[in-house]
Amino acid sequence: MEDWLDWYALVPAFVATYGSEELQELEGGAEFLRAAEEDDEVNLIERDRDYLKALEEWLGKYPEMRTTEE
């Protein structure tokens, strides 16, 4: 229960990411996610940047996700 607040803040991120076909497709092409899971060296490629940019735009729709001032 004590960790719930940390996870609750991530809910909009999961909804934004997995609620959009576009983001699912971009995530599928993102190499850095697989590299990070396998503890390989992470170098961002264009597909990674496309995914992160789209994710940033989606998360911008959820101002409650921001914990710091911009």
pLDDT tens digits, one per residue of 16-49? 666 678 888 888 888 888 887 787 788 889 999 9
Per-residue pLDDT at 42: 81
Question: What whole-number distance in Å separates Cα of residue 44 and Cα of residue 34?
Answer: 12
Indicate whether 1 pLDDT > 60. Answer: no
User: Domain-by-domain residue ranges, the chain?
Assistant: 4-64
DSSP string, 19-39: T-HHHHHHHHH-HHHHHHHTT
User: How far apart are the C-alpha atoms of 11 and 8, rounded to whole Å?
Assistant: 5
| pLDDT value, residue 47 | 92
- What is the model's pTM? 0.59
Give the CA radius of gyration of the chain.
Answer: 14
